[in-house]
Amino acid sequence: MTGREQERGSGRTLRASLAVDTKCVLGEGATWCARSGRLYWVDIEGAQLWRFDPATGERSSWRMPERLATFALTADPRALLLGLASQLAFFDLTTGEITTIAKVEPNLNTRVNDGRCDRQGRFVFGTKDEADKPQPIGGFYRLNRDLSVERLPLPAPAISNSIAFSPDGSTMYFCDSPTREILACDYGADGHVGQPRVFVRLADADGEPDGSTIDIEGGLWNAQWGAGRVVRYDAQGSETERVLVPARQPSCVALGGARLGTLYVTTARVGLDAATLAAERSSGGVFAATVARRGLPEPVFVGVRRS
């Protein structure tokens, strides 16, 4: 129902359960690494990168020099591409070395926020206004293979989110969370970005769209901040499934596991009062649910680190 308020579909409703109890202040960036069989995510306000191996239960973490908002896997399995608050950088998982690529919006009161690689291995990301009442002053950008950064011709966001790409890479999804709309646009392999159109509009009482991922059928799974749920929409924007999360601030999703059929959901504790935290003690953890759909391997950034 493109361009209309979402309506409850006839699909299944599932419930997610706690998978990793980390109590992140602002968990985000859920990303499944099929090469290693591990889940990565971040605690933005905790300035920390997390990794979890569901086969062994082992968890690891790395402290960052500033808030870490997003990241991407790279062609080098030893390295990640980081979207730190003020900059893009490479991170060596073995040595902990951080190599700056570029500063981001150094003259604005913004920070890097959401990001995903496109099907061509370029990193697309957005920013958010750091003001108490965010205004649409940020931008959407692309880090190309040659490590150049270009601003995309998309509306300036207050809080960028929901960046994802259709299985064939020809559609880009994104949002400015306070508008409660997820947008879509044509997206070319040559980098061309088309005119945005409304994909889904959430009703006022439905929270705000946050991070998203795409499954192999082209369905978009969206974490809905404040609503305690993840909703799947088909390629036409109709709801087909929802997963209830026992934490009201789900922030990002990834499809992982051995068959890419486990939905992982990061959540946050930030801004919740003592009574809410007492009732939702697992807020800030990672939740999981087995779903009927299958994910796609996460695209990796193919740009080369400069020596």
Poorest-pLDDT segment among 1-5, 54-58, 89-93: 1-5
Residue 224, helix vs strand vs coil: strand
| 89 membership: H or E segment, kind and range | strand 87-92
Residue 107 annotated in ligand binding: no
Residue 275, helix vs strand vs coil: helix
Which of 118, 129, 176, 210 is an active site residue? Answer: 210
7-35 residue pLDDT tens: 444 468 999 999 999 999 999 999 999 99
On the question of pLDDT at 99 being above 80, the answer is: yes
Residue 280 annotated in ligand binding: no
Q: How high is the pLDDT of residue 304?
A: 77
Predicted confidence band at 2 (pLDDT cuts at 50, 70, 90)?
A: very low
**30 closest CA partner among 220, 250, 209, 290:** 250
Q: Is 210 a catalytic residue?
A: yes
Contact 36, 78 (CB under 8 A): no
263-295 residue pLDDT tens: 999 999 999 999 999 999 999 999 999 999 999
Which tokens in the block code for residue 118?
């496109």
Residue 28 annotated in ligand binding: yes
Q: How high is the pLDDT of residue 206?
A: 78
**Domains of the chain and any CATH numbers:** 13-290 (2.120.10.30)
Instruction: Lay out the sheet containing 208-214: strands in order across.
Output: 13-15, 239-244, 229-233, 220-225, 208-214
What is this structure's pTM? 0.94
**241 closest CA partner among 229, 250, 252, 249:** 229
Residue 113 annotated in ligand binding: yes
